[in-house]
Amino acid sequence: MTIYSRIAGTGGYLPEEVRTNGDISKLVDTSDEWIFERTGIRERRIAGADETASSMAEVAARCALDAAGLQAAKIDLIIVATCSPDTVFPSTGFRANSLFILFFCRFPIKCHSIGKSFRAFTFFSIS
């Protein structure tokens, strides 16, 4: 079986504001150790007032294009997986389109932790 699709580049984006377990323990009766033992999380990022899931997706997409050495016009499919969409309709994937002015296929995946696995499974299924 020949696979015609590939992941040519990846990108990411993290908001600047960091909220640690220590910060949370100042607000509620808990500790860094208690949170970490149960979640594995030490810190989380907080989106700024002007940041949305789609605006962060667009920055990550630009990074992925740079890493792949590609132009947006060469993209055939974008899969956006998020559990915190900007709005229910239109989808975050549709809203993150100012970078991609040309027509391309896109679809949203609205699910939590399984979103990453489902996104990868879908990618390799359509290859």
- Using one digit for the tens of pLDDT, what is the confidence trace for 17-39? 999 999 999 999 999 999 999 99
11 pLDDT above the threshold of 80: yes
Instruction: Count CA atoms within 13 Å of residue 73 on its CB side.
Output: 0
- Whether 43 and 67 map to the same domain: the answer is no
Three-point CA angle 122, 125, 127, nearest 5°: 110
d(CA 86, CA 96): 10
Domain that holds residue 32: 13-51
- Whether 23 and 84 map to the same domain: the answer is no
3-state SS assignment for residue 49: coil
User: Is there a domain that residue 3 lies in?
Assistant: no
pLDDT at residue 103, rounded to an integer: 47
* Beta bridge partner(s), residue 81: 109
pLDDT by residue (tens digit) across 62-116?
Answer: 898 899 998 887 776 677 777 777 877 777 766 666 655 444 455 555 555 555 5
Residue 122: CATH number of its domain: 3.40.47.10
User: Is there a domain that residue 8 lies in?
Assistant: no
Please state the domain count of the chain.
2
